[in-house]
């Protein structure tokens, strides 16, 4: 079951931490922001992440049907860009 992503200001997260953890246990991911910029993410443990990964892989496979194949150099560059 996928839950919509929730965004919470850091000051609110500080005062509502226990209730936010309860939401995460229920499967919801929460982005914590400061001055409107994301600074942290609370995510459910493994099972939910695996479901998210499966969804992303399915989206990638669907996108590949409409786009040409990437070279190894492009894939490595994308990987490296994601590490910055």
- Each of the 84 residues of the chain gets a pLDDT tens digit; together they read 566 689 999 999 999 999 999 999 888 899 999 999 999 999 888 766 777 888 888 988 888 788 777 888 988 898 888 776
DSSP one-letter string for 5-41: -EEEEHHHHHHTHHHHHHHHHTT--EEEEETTEEEEE
Reduce the DSSP state of residue 83 to 3 states and report it: coil
Residues 6 or more apart in contact with residue 9 via CB below 8 angstroms: 32, 33, 34
pLDDT given at position 1: 52
Domains and CATH numbers, the chain: 1-44 (3.40.1620.10), 46-84 (no CATH)
């Amino acid at each position: 079951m996928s839950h919509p992503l929730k965004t919470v200001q850091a000051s609110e997260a500080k005062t509502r931490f226990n209730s936010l953890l309860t939401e995460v246990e229920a499967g919801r991911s929460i982005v914590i922001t400061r001055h409107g910029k994301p600074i942290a993410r609370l995510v459910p443990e493994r099972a939910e992440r695996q479901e998210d990964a499966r969804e992303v892989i399915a989206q990638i496979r669907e996108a590949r049907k409409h786009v040409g194949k990437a070279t190894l150099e492009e894939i490595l560059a994308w990987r490296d860009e994601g590490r910055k």
